[in-house]
Structure formats: C-alpha cells, structure tokens
Chains A and B, each alone.
Chain A
C-alpha cells in the first residue's frame, strides 16, 4: 500500500461507522429537549427571583460550567447506579442496575449539561424583550403566564435561536465523549472498527466527515427556522 490514505478502506468503513449516527443524534436530541426544559425553568427562576430555587440553580449552573463534561459523564455513569442501589436498599424496591443501558446515564449527564448552558442563553434572550411590551401585555389584563406564552417567549426564541442552535451543534459534537461510557455512538463505532485493522487515521477521518455533514445539515435547518421566525421584521405580512 502506498500513499497516506487507503481510500477504498475508508469507503468500506462508512456504513459501519454510520451505525453510530442514530445514537449520537438521539443523545443530542434528548439532551437538548430536556435541557431546554431545565434551561427555561432556570431562566424563569432567575428572572422572577424565586428564593431557594434561585440559589439551587445558581450552584447547579456554576458546577456544570466549572467542570469538564467528561467528568460529568463519569459522575453520572458511576454515581447514578450507587444512588439507585441506595434507593433499593432504603425503600425495598428492586431496580436491577445491570439492566439499565449505559446510554441512560449519558442522557442524564448531557441533559444536565445542556440545561445549565441553556439557562443562561434563555435568560438573556428573555431579558432582551423590551420591558415595555411586557408592561403593555399586563396593561391589557394578561396574566404573567399569558404574557410569557404569547408575547415574551416567541420573541425571546427569535433572539435566542442562533445561540440555541449553536448549543445544539456543540452538543452533537460533544456526544463523541459518550464513548467513555462505552456507548457505541459515532466515535465508539470508529474505535471498534479501527481496533480490528489498526487503520485509525482513515477511520477517524470518516468519523470527522460524518460529524461535519451532520452539522452542515443542522445549520441549514436552523437557517430555515430563523427565516420563518423573522417574518415580523419584514414590516408587512404577505397574504
């Protein structure tokens, strides 16, 4: 074999590595959905200054931002089974830890991680909506909830979308850390395949290209979303 790369091997290995794509996507998507929920709750707790919860969220966000994701994965992977064991012991339940797939611990770690970062992003997006519009919504008798749902959040979403989209892309790339908990996502699969032939470079190039393609597609989707949300800036609604 001459040259740096064995192209035919690279092409051959694509299907096997691509098997990791659904797992990578599922981690990113589930973490993102729960992370958005946590982030919205955290943002509202901070903005409305709810005592106790505000402090709890403060410590949580600080901890997540101050520790590496890899460490959070380990804490979740090794810690949650211990907590379940203690729960079994205290309440006489019989949850079999061995039967819980590792990916669930990954979901937890990634959701908590995304939630912390999204708390700050969503908070700043909500605060970007003019206070006057909030007052106007109150002045016509809307409740805090109605005002949030109909006036504030739709506009905050528009402002926050680019950042939220970046979080999602970052999250997707971070799923490559899930191999540390032996979850067969893209990198996990790549490691397994490369282990057989020792052609690590080729396999990792394929993995890199797969991530790249996914991210390009995601960016496209995000742009479409943004364009739809920006309709109110055109001045007039068509039709």
Chain B
C-alpha cells in the first residue's frame, strides 16, 4: 500500500528527515510516535505531498513518486487517494459542515450537488453529527470540528488515511469522541497512519508502532512488544517518561 524508500527532507539547511524506509500493508494501522521535532509530522505530510520530499521515493497505491520529478497529475492523484486530518482541523471557515464535506466531491470529483449532499449527510452520520450539517465551523466545538474534518477526509473514499496529531489541539474532555471515530475507521479496515502523542490510544488501535527521533526511525515493532520490551535506549527513555506521567494522572 505504502512504500517509502530513503526519504529525505531539508528545510533550507535543516535536515529534518534523514533517510526514512517504511512499508505499510493494506489495512494496517500504524502509529508514529516520538518527541517534538523528530520529523513525524513532516514524514506524514510528505506522504500526500504537502511537503515536497528532497530525496527518495514514495509509493502510494499504484502511484510512484520520485522526489525530483513529481508531475502535477500524480501529485493530484496521490492527494485524491489519501485523506488528511490536521491538528487544527483546518475546516473551510466560509462553508457549513456539510459543504466542507461536499466541496471536494463537487469541485474535484464533479459529482452532482444532490448526490454529493447525500454522501455528505451519510458521512456526518458516521461521525455522529447528522444534525449539524447547517453549522459553520465557528458554531461547532473543537471535537465536532475535528469530526467534520475526518468526514471531509473520508469523502473522496481514500485508500489511505493520514492523521496528524488529531487530538493535540483539543480540550481533554473532547479527545475521546474524536478518538472513537478514528478507532472506528481503523477497525473498519482502512489503511491508517496516525501521528500522535496519545500513547495509550496508539497501543490500543495500532498494529504497529514506529518510534522516530531526529529524523530517523529508531525502532518499530508490533504494538504489544513495543511498549512491553522496547529495544533501543532512546525508546525506553521515551516510554518511561510516558508511564511516569500516567502515574501522576492516577
């Protein structure tokens, strides 16, 4: 489904991704974790080309992209077959939640408006917001906005869902409703990659955990073994900090 070979990214002189190799199978749920500034978001954003890779190859489904020759058609094709959910929701402020979902169906897929609205309402129902179709983003809570954003990402029927810290901007009491929606998607068999700081959630839903630090994948393992017996010292330190934190919470 996804195959990334020697992916590198520079921001000017700053070397953010230093050679990422990663393969993800169809239907797999992968969580990417790691400290801030480790390049996890950049890696995710390279997968739908919101960031242009500096070196390497990315293969998404049937489309292969070489860092140095990305043509406009394959760029659009990749974006249209992946759904992206952002940390700050990024809903279109001038459109209602229904219109946020139907926008791409109408402009990109050229689906007729009535048909698009049917799909839109169905998706709103899946994220539990069937009665909020007429609301503008300014009239929704953060959790509701993020659920609309998820519905928008699902509208084009993507083969791959990318979540970029989807709950980091949310008030704590709103996190669960969003995580539940994501859990349903991942369990439904859609290939899902999620960058998150919610380690507990990552352990719950992910088939595989990837730990990144300083632009490299330090360790990857299935969710259970990853947390029980981390191999690399840096991973261990990171997880220790996390378990200590949860002790404080108790």
Chain A interface (Cβ < 8 Å from any Cβ of B):
130, 132-133, 135-143, 146, 150-151, 154-155, 158, 232-237
B104 A142 Cβ-Cβ under 8 A: yes
Residue of B nearest to A143 (CB): B76
B104 A155 Cβ-Cβ under 8 A: no
CA distance A32 to B88 in the complex (A): 37
CA distance A190 to B4 in the complex (A): 75
Per-residue contact bits, chain B 80-105, to A (CB 8 Å; 1 contact, 0 not)? 10111010111111111000000110
Most buried by B among A136, A142, A233, A235: A136
Residues in A with CB closer than 8 Å to B79 are 138-141
Nearest 6 interchain pairs by C-beta? A235-B139, A141-B80, A132-B90, A140-B104, A139-B84, A136-B90
Q: A233 and B136 in contact (CB under 8 A), knowing A141-B108, A155-B94?
A: yes
A140 B95 Cβ-Cβ under 8 A: no
Residue of A nearest to B101 (CB): A140
Per-residue contact bits, chain B 133-169, to A (CB 8 Å; 1 contact, 0 not)? 0111011000000000100110110000000000000
Can you sample 19 A-B contacts with CB below 8 Å?
A130-B93, A132-B89, A133-B91, A135-B50, A136-B86, A138-B50, A138-B79, A139-B48, A139-B153, A140-B103, A140-B108, A140-B155, A141-B79, A146-B107, A146-B108, A151-B94, A232-B138, A233-B136, A235-B135
How far is the CB of B85 from the nearest CB of chain A, in Å? Answer: 9
Residues in B with CB closer than 8 Å to A155 are 93-94
Residues in A with CB closer than 8 Å to B76 are 141, 143
Q: Name A135's contact: one of B82, B90, B94 (CB within 8 Å).
A: B90
Most buried by A among B50, B94, B152: B94
How far is the CB of B70 from the nearest CB of chain A, in Å? Answer: 13
B86 A132 Cβ-Cβ under 8 A: yes
B153 A133 Cβ-Cβ under 8 A: no
Most buried by A among B86, B92, B93, B138: B92
Residues in A with CB closer than 8 Å to B155 are 140
Residues in B with CB closer than 8 Å to A143 are 76
CA distance A154 to B136 in the complex (A): 15
Residue of A nearest to B77 (CB): A141
Residues in B with CB closer than 8 Å to A236 are 134-136, 139
Residues in B with CB closer than 8 Å to A235 are 135-136, 138-139
Q: Name A142's contact: one of B84, B89, B93, B107 (CB within 8 Å).
A: B107
Residues in A with CB closer than 8 Å to B48 are 139
Residues in B with CB closer than 8 Å to A138 are 50, 79
Residue of B nearest to A132 (CB): B90
CA distance A158 to B94 in the complex (A): 10
Residue of A nearest to B149 (CB): A136
Q: Name B90's contact: one of A133, A141, A234, A237 (CB within 8 Å).
A: A133
CA distance A140 to B153 in the complex (A): 7
A237 B50 Cβ-Cβ under 8 A: no
B136 A232 Cβ-Cβ under 8 A: yes
CA distance A142 to B102 in the complex (A): 12
Residues in A with CB closer than 8 Å to B136 are 232-237
CA distance A236 to B90 in the complex (A): 18
B92 A139 Cβ-Cβ under 8 A: no
A142 B108 Cβ-Cβ under 8 A: yes
How far is the CB of B56 from the nearest CB of chain A, in Å? Answer: 21
CA distance A142 to B84 in the complex (A): 13
A237 B108 Cβ-Cβ under 8 A: no
How far is the CB of B127 from the nearest CB of chain A, in Å? Answer: 16
CA distance A130 to B93 in the complex (A): 9
Q: 6 extra interchain contacts, Cβ-Cβ under 8 A, other than A130-B93, A142-B103?
A: A130-B90, A132-B88, A136-B92, A140-B83, A234-B138, A237-B96
Q: A151 and B92 in contact (CB under 8 A), knowing A139-B48, A140-B156, A141-B80?
A: yes
